[in-house]
C-alpha cells in the first residue's frame, strides 16, 4: 500500500483548503485499484443527512482520475474530458465512506477510468466512468508553481 500525494488547494484533496474534504488515497497495485476514505460533513448536504450529488460527483471524479497513478507514477496527471455518474443509493453525510478507483483502458494520452463510492457494508451509493486525457500545456504551466506542494504528507 502506497499513499498518493496531495495538493495544497484542491477542493477534494487539498491540505490547505479550509472548505475542502482533505481526502487521501492509497495505491493497491496488486488489486489494480486505489482507495480513499471520506466522511462528507453535514454542511455539504442536498437534503438533511444526504450528501449533495455534486459533492459525490467531485469525489468520484477525483478518485477515478487518480486511478491512473496506481502504478506509483505520481507525475501522471490527467484531466477529465467526460464523466458519467450513476447514483445507485442515497449517500449519507457523517458516515465514513470508501472511494475505490481503477483503470478500465489506458493509452498514451488518454484513459478510461472508473470509481465507486461505498458504504461501510460495501453497498455502492454511486459509480462513475470517465475519460481522462493529458492536460494541454496551458494547464501544465499553471500547475508548475504548485508542483512543490504536490507531496505525500
* pTM value surpassing 0.85: yes
- 111 vs 114: CA distance, rounded Å: 10
For the domain 2-146, what is the CATH code?
A: 3.10.129.10
How large is the average pLDDT for residues 15-19?
94
Residue 153 has pLDDT above 90, yes or no: no
From CA 150, how far away is CA 143, in angstroms rounded? 10
User: What would the pLDDT profile of 50-86 be if each residue is shown by its tens digit?
Assistant: 999 999 999 999 999 999 999 999 888 899 999 999 9
Contact 127, 115 (CB under 8 A): yes
Amino acid at each position: 500500500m502506497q499513499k498518493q500525494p496531495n495538493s495544497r488547494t484542491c477542493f477534494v484533496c487539498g491540505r490547505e483548503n479550509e472548505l475542502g474534504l482533505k481526502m487521501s488515497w492509497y495505491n493497491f497495485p496488486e488489486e489494480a485499484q486505489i482507495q480513499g476514505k471520506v466522511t462528507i460533513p453535514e454542511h455539504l448536504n442536498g437534503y438533511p443527512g444526504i450528501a449533495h450529488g455534486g459533492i459525490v460527483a467531485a469525489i468520484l471524479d477525483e478518485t477515478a482520475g487518480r486511478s491512473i497513478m496506481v502504478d506509483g507514477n505520481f507525475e501522471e496527471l490527467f484531466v477529465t474530458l467526460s464523466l458519467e455518474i450513476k447514483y445507485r443509493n442515497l449517500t449519507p453525510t457523517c458516515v465514513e465512506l470508501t472511494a475505490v478507483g481503477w483503470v478500465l483502458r489506458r493509452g498514451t494520452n488518454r484513459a478510461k477510468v472508473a470509481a465507486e463510492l461505498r458504504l461501510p457494508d460495501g453497498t455502492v451509493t454511486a459509480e462513475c466512468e470517465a475519460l481522462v486525457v493529458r492536460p494541454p500545456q496551458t494547464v501544465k504551466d499553471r500547475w508548475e508553481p504548485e508542483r512543490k506542494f504536490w507531496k505525500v504528507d
